[in-house]
Structure 1
Amino acid sequence: MQPRRQPPPAPGARAPRPAGPGLALLLWLVLQGAAAAPAGPAEDPGAPQAVGLPRGILQQAARAALHFFNFRAASPSALRVLGAVHEGRARVDPQKGCKVELVFSTESYNLEAGEDHLGKCSAQVFFKNQKPRPAINVTCTRLLGKEKRRQEDYRLYTQLKQLQSPFRGSLPDSHGRIEASLRPLWDLAFLGSSYVMWEKTTQFSQYYLAQLRSVNQWKMSGDAVDFDYTVLLHEFPTQEILPCRIRLIWYPGKPLKVKYQCQELQTPEEASGTVEGSAVAPTELIHL
């Protein structure tokens, strides 16, 4: 069965990743005192950039905000993907980083035939100089109703609890398909990966979930489902494929618990992540 939505498409070509702190100062000199004009549509990477705004920074901020939103919502049925960026402003402090304020539209990650789950989000995203894990405050409206979301999450939870044997293989398959019976595994992997992608995003790099390589389901005495995933994250603009092992514990209506380890050269503070003890900005879910 062909899924309604495949992993988000790769963005257009990007400039090489800045390699040193001197570029941050250069960026500031370009932006000093200049407020960004309204952004063009997200789907047109070739459109002229707003004066003083680094190329792609609004889309970068919108995707980071959505990674954070998806993780904090902790609901596979509430997963969102980027529609278009409508407006935004960026300001750079050479000592601290880049602050972006923006408004963007979203779509439901799993659209059913004939449904139109559009929404709008406003966000403040602060990229710290040369550091991952931007600080984010995001508010989204026109979401799936609370009761409908609870029912959908519990249905998915029941499917996961009834799995008879651990999944072995990759999702999507070589033809880009995900069988309906395996869709809950992908959705949960997408949910857990959102935390990892938010933590690793900087103003110069962003991540997409490219593939789910393996899943191990742990036996727990409690009601939560406990999975150990191996995923491949596609990083832009370097085009690197980053393998990450993610341990995820989830129960409908409860905060998501995530721990991970990625195979790459990292500084000690980036080597692994966990949701426990993280100081994060609030996420607001408003149902209209």
Structure 2
Amino acid sequence: MQLRRQPLPAPRPGDPYPAAPLLALLLLLALQGAAAAPAGSGEPEDSGWRQDAELPHGLLSQAARAALHFFNFRTSSPSALRVLAEVQEGRAWINQKKEYKVDLVFTTELYNPEKGKERLGKCSARVFFRNEKPRPATNITCTRLIEKKARQEEDYLLYKYMKQLKNLLDVVSIPDSHGHIDPSLRPIWDLAFLGSSYVMWEKTTQFLHYYMAQLSSVNQWKTSEDAIDFDYTVLLHEFSTQEMIPCHIHLVWYPGKPLKVKYHCQELHTPEEASGTEEGSAVAPTELSNL
């Protein structure tokens, strides 16, 4: 005699769920919750980091300025130079070596805004400070501040102006003693600021940041190529120490091509010189996107 398998009775309202289906349901809900979690929430992927609830004073602004120096250098465009407007949000992680990873969102404005026109853009960045070591690794994404075509046209006009100069430039002290920059010298100042952006980014640490205070001398070299070739000296204001650091910079620029920079700076508080080129490498990936 063959036994027939009897179907299981349908559960009635109020009956508990069987154990196995209940466990399967809980597992499914857990997986769905993990998939729905935002990619950037919580700690960075690598271990050893913890979120710092009490950010050091000025750390977010420090990270934003470092990211913008790097951004300006990599855009290679005097007409698209940006400066920090406002940090909107940010958070940081710290590890046992007292190194910081900073995620932030901030607004920017044109270095030379058109009169009567407010030109703002927004950037998001991650900056990695290796304690007191310079050259913070940077990953930055920005919205366009001006259209690419307009930027290229402005850069080319500046390039033509510089190429049409009959005499080699021999400029001393921009701005003048009254803080004024002659309009005819503004393109030279902007090009010097562009090259100095690399130097300022490379020298930035968690505790020190820089700004170009004065262009003390400029010489334009003739070359066999079409590029603008500059050799100039600037004074960089080193915040925190309030020192003025003289840096000798050699810049090669052509519209639409990567900027080439070599430099050496005389540190006033040490007998040694710091020097570098744009080919140096950072510990963590350094990237730029969405130009």
Question: Normalising to structure 2: TM-score of the pair?
Answer: 0.78
Aligned to 2:173, the other structure's residue is in SS state strand
Q: Does 1:125 align with 2:130?
A: no
Aligned to 1:271, the other structure's residue is in SS state strand
Paired amino acid for 1:261:
H
Paired amino acid for 1:175:
H
Task: Name the structure 2 match of 1:167.
Answer: 170
Separation in 2 of the partners of 1:169 and 1:201? 27
RMSD: 1.7
Separation in 2 of the partners of 1:130 and 1:102? 20
Task: Name the structure 1 match of 2:84.
Answer: 82
Moved more, 120-129 or 270-279: 270-279
> Which residue, out of 126, 143, 146, partners 2:145?
143
Task: Name the structure 2 match of 1:155.
Answer: 157
Task: Name the structure 2 match of 1:241.
Answer: 244
Give the Å deviation of 1:114.
2.1
Task: Name the structure 2 match of 1:115.
Answer: 117
Aligned to 2:92, the other structure's residue is in SS state strand
Q: Is the 8 A contact 1:118 1:142 kept in 2?
A: no
Paired amino acid for 1:221:
S
Separation in 2 of the partners of 1:189 and 1:94? 39
Task: Name the structure 1 match of 2:17.
Answer: none
Give the Å deviation of 1:266.
6.0
Task: Name the structure 1 match of 2:234.
Answer: 231
> Which of the pair has the greater relative contact order for Cα pairs under 8 Å at 6+ separation?
1
Give the Å deviation of 1:278.
3.7
Separation in 2 of the partners of 1:285 and 1:164? 38
> Which residue, out of 203, 206, 210, partners 1:203?
206
Q: Is the 8 A contact 1:258 1:275 kept in 2?
A: yes
Q: Deviations along 1:29-53, whole A, 9 cap, x unmatched?
A: xxx84444xxxxxxxxxxxxxxx11
Q: Deviations along 1:234-282, whole A, 9 cap, x unmatched?
A: 00101010000000000000000000010126698x7211013545612
Q: Is the 8 A contact 2:220 2:231 kept in 1?
A: yes
Any gaps of 5 or more consecutive residues in structure 2? Answer: 1-48
Q: Deviations along 1:88-146, whole A, 9 cap, x unmatched?
A: 00111123611000000000011111222100000000000220000000011032101
Aligned to 1:105, the other structure's residue is in SS state strand
Task: Name the structure 1 match of 2:189.
Answer: 186
Question: Normalising to structure 1: TM-score of the pair?
Answer: 0.79
Give the Å deviation of 1:233.
0.2
Separation in 1 of the partners of 2:237 and 2:209? 8
Separation in 1 of the partners of 2:96 and 2:245? 30
Q: Does 1:281 align with 2:283?
A: no
Task: Name the structure 1 match of 2:28.
Answer: none
Of all paired residues, the percent bearing the same amino acid is 67
Separation in 2 of the partners of 1:176 and 1:261? 26
Separation in 2 of the partners of 1:203 and 1:98? 8
Any gaps of 5 or more consecutive residues in structure 1? Answer: 1-31, 37-51
Query: Radius of gyration: which is bigger?
Result: 2
Paired amino acid for 1:56:
G
Q: Deviations along 1:142-171, whole A, 9 cap, x unmatched?
A: 321010000000001111112233232111
Aligned to 1:158, the other structure's residue is in SS state helix
